[in-house]
Structure 1
Amino acid sequence: MKKTVCFFQANMSYGESKYLPYAAGCLIAYAKAQKDICDEYDFADIVFTRENPAAALRKVSEPFLAAFSCYTWNFEYHKVLAEMLKERFAECIVVFGGHNIPYDDSLLYKLPYVDILMHGEGEESFSALLNAFSRGETLRGVPGISYRADKNQTKTNASVRPGHIDKYPSPYLSGVFDGILKRNPDVRFSAISETNRGCPYGCSYCDWSLCREMQVFPIERVKKELQWFADHKIEYVFCADSNFGMLERDFEISEYIVRLRKRTGYPRVFGINSAKYCNDNVFRIIKMLFENRISKGVTLSHQTLNSEALANINRRNFSLEEFTQILRRYNACGIPAYADMIIGLPGETYDSFCDGLCKLLECGMNMSMSIYDCQVYCNAQMGQEEYRRKFGIKTMTLPLNFNHARTPREGDVQEYVDVIRETASMPEKDMRRAHIFKTALQCFHFKGWLKFFAAYMYQSRGVSYRQFYDAAVDFVFSAQGTLINSLFTGYAVGLEKNDGSVLTYSNPDFGPVGWYPEEGIALVLAQNKERFYREAEPFLSSLGIEPELYRELLAYQKSVIRTPEHREVEISSSYGFYDYFLAVLSGDTDVMLKRARNTVRVRIDNPVNNWQDYAREVVLYSNRRNDMIITNCKEAVTVEYY
């Protein structure tokens, strides 16, 4: 009788969408390609959803071995499942692998219900493990595992870097997921695409740095997988490559995706981590995907502009001059460009962090910016004790927020993540101030609530973005009794608790999902638009703008902030605000605001009827383009001068 192998890779749900469990599928596909393993083992359906642990275990019957693919978003859940499974099936061999498993045996001492740890890439190690059990061999020859040699001793076998990933079978093409698709017809599945593995860079915060050698999968396999996605109507495909566009062949892959989309309608979105240095190949790829509505734009990852911090994390950026030229190239083609930044990197100070954000605004990065907490992973260089001591890194363990996913219910298993709360260069108090500044910037600038006043003061009055938003933050905390004061004061108090409670905003008015703080604040302001601008009047009127211009600028600023009732908007003015701000926010420093009577008309192509629809369609689905500012959708705007 064959032995049963069970896999668990619980993923987050985003509405009706769920990811196919790619990592588990890769190990199963590799194992099932070997006759000896197929003769000895049966593979049960992969458990890929987060459900009540007891309900999940009811799907398991007499397992010989249970393998868990562990990440930050499922580690605690998998621990609960594994412990319950071990209690029910004492003889079952429990194996933990994945990115959340450190490269040592420490977890074996912490988790007595786990028998084997698997380190690094798992295809070859997992199959070697199954073969060792079926042949009655010791585990000494299985690479990349830690295991219990006896009751009081553990052993760790050295990992072996896979040498021939081009020979690995595809879980999609080998039918691993066929049963999941058949048994879940109502689920809108998303998928992971992998055209290569590895990363040539060594950023200290990333555990990809342990996999420096890049290897590619055969391009014909990649194309067949893309065809599989189209055949199975997979709407969203995320490419897990570390630097898509780095290889010349990535353009050929992108051309194939476009042809598929035109012929079949799928995939609708192909998400990528674009190559760190935006060469012509990257630009051609982004332009083609954007023009064919398969990509929403390009992310230009800086992480920090501080030279000391860059050196500390083993990273080099292009210069601001180069960045400005790259940005203008994308802006000229109407391609939205976004920035990724990290708060709390070693060497960063409060001032250098805030200055860096505002320098990017001056360069023309004004559409969207993601600013992440610096998470510390067990297998990254930053996670090592020596590195932490060197840079005075102190961390705190916070509940993992499930923003943009269903908020946890009572009885759900909470996940956790370690984030930096202090470094030698940024004390904890400054770290909290930095969070307040970045949240204010994201709400007031990228969500638009003070954006056009800030841009006018920068371009026409010589007030830097840093000066403007410093003053805005000061006003917020001094304006007692106002809505914005209560929102930010509550946020600041929550930050001092260090428990992560303020990192997710929940309100049934906006649906059953969680929101980032700046999104939550912006949504509340949208419900109270007139009140916000009325209460902000002391700050805005203190800017010294002549009365007539001030009145018209305020009217324009208020009009471009979308609320649910908007269908078509007309903004009449004596000043050419639309063209002026289009130039300023694209980084053009040679522009003046002209008096010219005009009417700006904006067509709303995705009307909504209530606040839940508004939150979902305008804030969540359009968070990169940021449809909260109606003029961001250029194709929906017409301007008539007279």
Structure 2
Amino acid sequence: MKVVLLELSAYPNTLPLASGYLQAYAQQDERVAENWDFTIHAVAANTPTQEIVAALAGMEADAYGLSCYLWNMRRMKEVLDELVRLRPGAHFILGGPQVMNHATEYVPREWEHVLVCNSEGEQPFTAFLRELSDHGGDGPDFRRVPGVSFWSGGELVTTDKPPRIKDLDEIPSPFAAGIFDGGEYTFAVVETNRGCPFRCSYCYWGAATNDKVHRWELDRVKADLTWISEHGIESIFLADANWGALPRDVELTRHIVECKERNGYPLMVAIQAAKNRPDRVTEITEILVEGGMLTSQPVSLQTTSPQALEMVQRSNIKESTYVELQLKLKDKQISSYTELIWPLPGETLQSFREGIGKLCATGADAIVAYPQLLLRNTPMYERREELGVVTVRVDDPVAEADVVVGTNWVTREEFQEGVWFYYAVISLYNARSAFYVARELHRSGACSYTEFLTRAADYYKRRTDTEICRFFADSVATLGNYDINNIGKVLHYVLHSHRGEMDRLLEGFLDEQGWLADPRVRLAFELDLLARPYVYREAVAEPVVELRHLRLLSRERFRLTAELPAEAAELLASYENVAGLDGAEAGIGPVRMRIDHLGRRKMPYPKQRSIDHNAAYCQAMMNRLKDILPSWTPVVPDAVAGVP
């Protein structure tokens, strides 16, 4: 008999880990191994439905297993509908967080040959195959399969879930079993353990499993990572919920770097860092940065609101620990970005704004605010009515994403105000368009970060005569920020294609507020005009607005040289740790500075690529901001060619 496992991944050429686990575990059973031939069909989720269906139907399998997630469910449902019509004699089993405990939504009553798995998949899937091969001729009785739901005689039958697998080494390595041999993969998800000690109500990782962390044996994990390296997989995502929580994670990190040094791969590693382990996380990050495999460290706060933290049952990273981690990363010149979710239950528009303002004041490199998605099988999903959760399903041909646009604490209008506010954060703080200005206003007490960004968002709403603000308005109206590339498009506009428009937009905002009348704010504004980074490796351009106090002396391909009056140099010295420019020297007279925009690891602007492709690059560069920030260097007059 034939069984086909289908994975529709978010990224092309992704190693199908879930299917590999299912096959490896099932083939331990002698009867399954004797009676079933396995095929894994793994393609990107945006592959056309008819192309997927034609391939699967052509395999004429007796059973199909479908891995269902938020990011592929709309496409998966289309495939299932067609496949059931074309293969009426086959049996189907659906698994994954999007369908667990939701059989009635995806399986019509008449489809008695379609099952939904409600638990960890390895045990139910193996029992499903055994039932088909042992009793298929007499008519299988799926009541003997644990942890599934199915229709029988017009009634929904749900069997008891099996206990979670505590000894994970019961699941053989699909890498060692040769299941992935011959595949061409560029991206791999890796598990070294399962479970999470935290109970965050919005997350399926810990709250829904309600289980402690179980781990695979260390040498087994090392062998799997070695396989990935030897087979040339470019990037991996370590899918443990809290990388760095276990002491052995440092050893495993070193092993990954050693593999890269020996084999050249993987090139990049992404992690979900542990909370409240700043020393270990910093050590891990430093190992990966020195190995050339990580350029930035995510810090997952999700919210700074005590009320929201209590509502979502999250024990957050302590503020002192967060500050300590930021200082350690800054000291080692490692970029970081702080992750938030908007709007969590208990979070108000005011607390969201104030939380971001506080992060700006503490010197966060960049702040990423993800939209809140209502995930199936989480405590928040079960309490959605009590919490007043209002969702809108994103218009996406592939995914089934329900974005939270309201709670008992946030109206739909306030939700949109929060999104406008975040566009001000991306363009003015993350992109550094008004970095020095905002810092000077905050430091002088004239305007806090929160108030500055709030006023900027209000100004943006009135400036839809500009392309940048029209993009913001359209994104707010259509939930465009659901797409992670949306952030990258903002960076593309502000730091590349519409730099001049951003210059004028910022000048208009500051002038309307009356701040440019303050000489120090005007100096900070002109410093921002010269220091705003370039996201691509491209020739620098002069600002399109007038420099009244700074004097541009020369422009090379990647560098500007400017003369700063003593007050501007003193101001810069208070912002940046520039060698040879301390406060005493800065007050003597005009200072000539070279602003070098070459940066690190930037690529030239690829004109032939789509905006979505370029936006993905820009979004990644925002997360590793230190790679694109310019450097300031004092220069003697002789060093400026052609300038007296």
Q: Shared topology, TM-score over 0.5?
A: yes
Provide the residue aligned with 1:198 in structure 2: 195
Provide the residue aligned with 1:621 in structure 2: 617
Matched, 1:364 2:363: yes
Q: Hey, what's the Cα distance between the residues in 2 that align with 1:530 and 1:261?
A: 42
CA-to-partner distance for each residue in 1:471-503, whole Å, 9 max, x for gaps?
2223223446444444444445x25xxxx3x34
Matches for 1:559-638 after TM superposition, within 5 Å: 559-562=531-534, 564-566=538-540, 567-574=557-564, 575-576=568-569, 579-582=573-576, 594-595=586-587, 597-602=591-596, 603-605=598-600, 606-611=602-607, 620-621=616-617, 623-626=619-622, 632-633=627-628, 637=631
Range moving further from structure 2, 448-457 or 85-94: 448-457
Q: 1:22 aligns with which of 12, 17, 23?
A: 17
Provide the residue aligned with 1:455 in structure 2: 439
Q: Hey, what's the Cα distance between the residues in 2 that align with 1:580 and 1:632?
A: 22
**1:388 CA drift (Å):** 1.8
Matches for 1:6-17 after TM superposition, within 5 Å: 6-13=4-11, 17=12
**Does the CA contact (< 8 Å) of 1:391 and 1:424 recur in 2?**
yes
* SS of residue paired to 1:399: coil
Matched, 1:443 2:427: yes
Provide the residue aligned with 2:502 in structure 1: 532
- The one-letter amino acid paired with 1:620 is A
Range moving further from structure 2, 51-60 or 260-269: 51-60
How large is the Cα RMSD of the aligned pairs? 2.9
Q: Between the two proteins, what is the percent identity of the paired residues? A: 23
**1:322 CA drift (Å):** 3.1
Provide the residue aligned with 1:175 in structure 2: 178
Q: Hey, what's the Cα distance between the residues in 2 that align with 1:346 and 1:126?
A: 36
Range moving further from structure 2, 192-201 or 461-470: 461-470
Matched, 1:390 2:386: yes
Matched, 1:375 2:359: no
**Does the CA contact (< 8 Å) of 1:559 and 1:571 recur in 2?**
no
The 3 A distance-change label for structure 1 pair 482 and 34 is closer
Provide the residue aligned with 2:148 in structure 1: 145
Provide the residue aligned with 1:414 in structure 2: 398
**Does the CA contact (< 8 Å) of 2:9 and 2:42 recur in 1?**
no
* SS of residue paired to 1:331: helix
The 3 A distance-change label for structure 1 pair 611 and 469 is farther
* SS of residue paired to 2:240: coil
**1:6 CA drift (Å):** 0.8
Q: Hey, what's the Cα distance between the residues in 2 that align with 1:581 and 1:111?
A: 66
CA-to-partner distance for each residue in 1:353-401, whole Å, 9 max, x for gaps?
1111111111111x222211111111111111xx12322222222234x
Range moving further from structure 2, 245-254 or 596-605: 596-605
The 3 A distance-change label for structure 1 pair 619 and 449 is farther
**Does the CA contact (< 8 Å) of 1:47 and 1:56 recur in 2?**
no
The 3 A distance-change label for structure 1 pair 600 and 456 is farther
Number of aligned residue pairs: 594
Provide the residue aligned with 1:102 in structure 2: 100
Q: Hey, what's the Cα distance between the residues in 1 that align with 2:583 and 2:481?
A: 39
Range moving further from structure 2, 276-285 or 600-609: 600-609
* SS of residue paired to 1:561: coil
Q: Hey, what's the Cα distance between the residues in 2 that align with 1:101 and 1:283?
A: 37
- The one-letter amino acid paired with 2:617 is Y
CA-to-partner distance for each residue in 1:232-261, whole Å, 9 max, x for gaps?
111101111001111111111011111111
Matches for 1:27-42 after TM superposition, within 5 Å: 27-42=22-37
The 3 A distance-change label for structure 1 pair 153 and 599 is closer
CA-to-partner distance for each residue in 1:478-532, whole Å, 9 max, x for gaps?
446444444444445x25xxxx3x3478xxxxxxxx831x433443343232233
**Does the CA contact (< 8 Å) of 2:257 and 2:291 recur in 1?**
yes
Provide the residue aligned with 1:550 in structure 2: 522
Matches for 1:170-569 after TM superposition, within 5 Å: 170-181=173-184, 189-208=186-205, 209-211=207-209, 212-365=211-364, 367-384=365-382, 387-400=383-396, 413-479=397-463, 481-492=465-476, 494-495=477-478, 500=479, 502-503=480-481, 515-516=485-486, 518-525=487-494, 526-541=496-511, 542-547=514-519, 550=522, 553-554=525-526, 556-562=528-534, 564-566=538-540, 567-569=557-559
The 3 A distance-change label for structure 1 pair 592 and 122 is farther
**Does the CA contact (< 8 Å) of 1:336 and 1:625 recur in 2?**
no
TM-score (norm 1): 0.85
**1:537 CA drift (Å):** 2.2
Q: Hey, what's the Cα distance between the residues in 1 that align with 2:319 and 2:517?
A: 31
**1:161 CA drift (Å):** 1.3
* SS of residue paired to 1:210: coil
**1:146 CA drift (Å):** 1.2
**Does the CA contact (< 8 Å) of 2:275 and 2:317 recur in 1?**
no
Q: Hey, what's the Cα distance between the residues in 2 that align with 1:91 and 1:107?
A: 22
CA-to-partner distance for each residue in 1:524-552, whole Å, 9 max, x for gaps?
34323223323432322321454587257
- The one-letter amino acid paired with 1:24 is S
**Does the CA contact (< 8 Å) of 1:338 and 1:624 recur in 2?**
no
**Does the CA contact (< 8 Å) of 1:12 and 1:18 recur in 2?**
no
Q: Hey, what's the Cα distance between the residues in 2 that align with 1:424 and 1:552?
A: 41
Range moving further from structure 2, 548-557 or 124-133: 548-557
Range moving further from structure 2, 23-32 or 46-55: 46-55
**1:462 CA drift (Å):** 4.6
**Does the CA contact (< 8 Å) of 2:222 and 2:255 recur in 1?**
yes
Q: 1:75 aligns with which of 62, 69, 73?
A: 73
- The one-letter amino acid paired with 1:146 is S
Q: Hey, what's the Cα distance between the residues in 2 that align with 1:331 and 1:174?
A: 43
Q: Hey, what's the Cα distance between the residues in 2 that align with 1:592 and 1:480?
A: 45
**1:159 CA drift (Å):** 3.4
Range moving further from structure 2, 109-118 or 155-164: 109-118
TM-score (norm 2): 0.85
Q: Hey, what's the Cα distance between the residues in 1 that align with 2:508 and 2:44?
A: 51
* SS of residue paired to 2:429: helix
* SS of residue paired to 2:622: coil
The 3 A distance-change label for structure 1 pair 422 and 553 is closer
**1:93 CA drift (Å):** 0.4
* SS of residue paired to 1:207: coil
**1:66 CA drift (Å):** 0.6
Provide the residue aligned with 1:511 in structure 2: none
**Does the CA contact (< 8 Å) of 1:145 and 1:159 recur in 2?**
no
The 3 A distance-change label for structure 1 pair 480 and 337 is closer
Q: Hey, what's the Cα distance between the residues in 2 that align with 1:116 and 1:287?
A: 46
Matched, 1:56 2:52: yes
